Structure 1
Amino acid sequence: MKPLALLLRPVASADLPALERIAAASAHGIGSLPSDRDKLSARIARSIEAFASQDAASGEETYLFVLEDREAGRVVGCSGIAASAGFHDRFYSYRNEFVVHASAPLGISQRMHTLHLCHDLTGYTLLTSFYIEPAYEQGLAPQLLSRARLLFIEQFIERFNDRIAAESPGLANEAGQSPFWDAVGRRFFNMDYPQAEALTGGRSKAYIADLMPHSPVYVALLPEDAQWAIGQLHPVGELPFAILQAEGFDADTYIDIFDGGPTVEASLAMLRSIRHARTLPLRAGAVTLGLSAWHLVATTGREDFRAVLAQLPPAAKELSPGHEAAARLGLAEGARLRVTPVDSQADQGGR
């Protein structure tokens, strides 16, 4: 995999076969893309409409990006954004809390871990649908696939919430059975975890939460395997979760009501990619001197949004239209680029 061959762009109708392949490759009960051609076609159509719409955003929009290896001539990953979690209804999570039970006569005080059903994250913008082929998991490709979405949100913040969340898949076996769901959710529903998860489509969980107990769940009363599953990751979630943690997302407060996987959340302005982002105009005669470092480089259009990886001097204030990144993005003099460093060392200086 060559970093300069990678391009992140909005999904197109011609990407349907690639998304079918991705949906089929996703772990059972984990992937947010349905293994159904008609549903995938509808998902693509909604994304195309969201990118193209000139109307004021409603919050119902979903955006889907694909990562293309232009040298290999194939799509190798996807990632998405849901503008507003629970747009049609409340978006439920469990919130981790601790309560103290004490008896003065007995001299006993117990700090108990509890889970409280809440819809705190309703209306947050959700990062969704991350998938990358195993051959591309090493190196910079996952960074481009995950983090370029943040530059898109920042560029068109009027269409999104400035609070961002992302769910990560919790522990489940190859058949899709989840110890947390079996101990909690399944008690109230006669269905397996994959069936319940598939019904939500990743946007609202109100129909599940309406039948769940609204009193706190005392973790100590759950089976040991369910206790262990709280906040734990399915192996397929480790890579995107690590990227989000490095960005500055908090993973300690919320968990998914299905499988107990961690749900991260943060303020957009506090994320590393946004704090270190800068705008570079393309100007004839611009000279870029100094040692170069890997950056995410994104265009500033919505319908024709593109993002690539490029090596730029960290102190660059402008770029020549002849720079290879501008050429790969098809931009000319007068255009502007939004760039942010990939290297995590950016946090250690130059703020």
Structure 2
Amino acid sequence: MDRLVLRPAAYSDLPAVERIAGASPVGVTSLPRSRDKLFDKIASSQASLAADVSGCGEESYFFVLEREQDREVVGTSAIVASAGFSEPFYNYRNETLTHASRELGIHHRVHVLTLCHDLTGATLLTSFVLDPAYKQGDTPDLLSRARMLFIAAHRQRFADHVVSEMLGLCEDDGHAPFWDSVGRHFFGIDYPLAEFYCGVKGRSFIAELLPQHPIYVPLLPREAQEAIGQIHPFSRLPCEILLREGFETERYVDIFDAGAVVQARTEEIRTIATHSRATVVAHPPGADGGQYLVGNLDLPGFRAILTEAAFDSERGEVWLSEPDMQSLRVGAGDSVILAPL
């Protein structure tokens, strides 16, 4: 069985990250197909890990999932401490407007999308990409939920709400029903190019070109209406994990493809709500245990694994095997953070 560990991305990971980004579908703007931007992403993460931070700011943290025996990178995930720190974080808000006439006896409710930046300042989960060979079993939980352990371990660095954008409906040829019916009319470019600009240039151009008035959903083509809040097959797995973590959907959608935006209060996220800190004890032979996500408390050297461990909550102790301690780079007597799978 492959031994996998999640850790912060290093500069030496750039070729592997480029490979993963190149295999991602159009629309994954958090992993742009630009070597310079991916290098900047790693550099920003390294700087954030080295910074002395007492609040939620412009920091970002980029992780890779590594197969330890050959150091092959098989996945990526990331956290942005404060979405829209340098520019507004735009979404469409699902709303209902009421049109009424007492004289005509008409009272009609209409679904509209309103451009907003309500989620600016929330912590943002991004960049979940996993090698298809590892999408079965519990590995996806390690790649996604280990970020929650990191947030719990360094809580002061993150906001009181956490959000994540799911990739919406789009086809391999770049056709996206919602974009083609809305955004294209104001930008004059196709969906892949719009997403590329978003990934490498930021979102400031959005406010300059998108209409500020509500979009009346019934006026859109049926294909575009049906795309609102839908999720691309690529994002179904990470979305399922976050929904199990207690995230909710339906309130906001992405401005490009209308994919669902999920959100949760930080303290109510399952991994964070159920996490514990414990002292490491060398694993005694034959000790019974359960499946846990376990991470160390070293900020720049954070490492997390998924393993079978015996946890004594009353004594505040967790029994880990020697290979587990080596993977986490901890020893007996050190403190770790853990949450049940």
C-alpha contact 1:91 1:203 (8 A) present in aligned 2: no
Which residue is equivalent to 2:294?
Answer: 297
C-alpha contact 2:28 2:127 (8 A) present in aligned 1: no
Deviates more, 1:313-322 or 1:77-86: 313-322
Q: Which of 9, 23, 26 pairs up with 1:25?
A: 23
Q: How does 1:312-331 map to 2 (within 5 A)?
A: 312-313=309-310, 315-316=312-313, 317-320=316-319, 324-331=323-330
| Residue ranges of structure 2 left out of the alignment (5+ in a row) | none
The one-letter amino acid of 1:48's match is Q
Q: TM-score normalised to the size of structure 2?
A: 0.93
C-alpha contact 2:112 2:217 (8 A) present in aligned 1: yes
Q: How does 1:121-160 map to 2 (within 5 A)?
A: 121-160=119-158
The one-letter amino acid of 1:300's match is L
Shift of 1:323: 5.3
The one-letter amino acid of 1:225's match is E
Which residue is equivalent to 1:82?
Answer: 80
Shift of 1:96: 0.6
C-alpha contact 2:126 2:165 (8 A) present in aligned 1: yes
Q: TM-score normalised to the size of structure 1?
A: 0.90
SS of the residue 2:164 aligns to: strand
> Aligned partners of 2:328 and 2:125: how far apart in 1?
24
Q: Per residue, is there more strand in 1 or in 2?
A: 2
Identity between Structure 1 and Structure 2 (%): 46
Closer, same or farther: CA 212–31 of 1 in aligned 2, 3 Å:
closer
Deviates more, 1:52-61 or 1:75-84: 52-61
> Aligned partners of 2:311 and 2:236: how far apart in 1?
29
Shift of 1:12: 0.7
Shift of 1:203: 9.4
Which residue is equivalent to 1:272?
Answer: 270
Closer, same or farther: CA 48–56 of 1 in aligned 2, 3 Å:
same
| Residue ranges of structure 1 left out of the alignment (5+ in a row) | 343-351
> Aligned partners of 1:121 and 1:175: how far apart in 2?
31
Q: Which of 216, 221, 224 pairs up with 2:222?
A: 224
C-alpha contact 2:161 2:266 (8 A) present in aligned 1: yes
> Aligned partners of 1:176 and 1:157: how far apart in 2?
39
Shift of 1:15: 0.6
Shift of 1:13: 1.1
The one-letter amino acid of 2:132's match is P
The one-letter amino acid of 2:144's match is S
Q: Over residues 307-335 of structure 1, what are the superposed CA-to-partner deviations in whole Å (9 max), with x where a residue is unaligned?
A: 00111246553024655432331211331
Closer, same or farther: CA 104–287 of 1 in aligned 2, 3 Å:
farther
Q: Which of 215, 230, 250 pairs up with 2:213?
A: 215
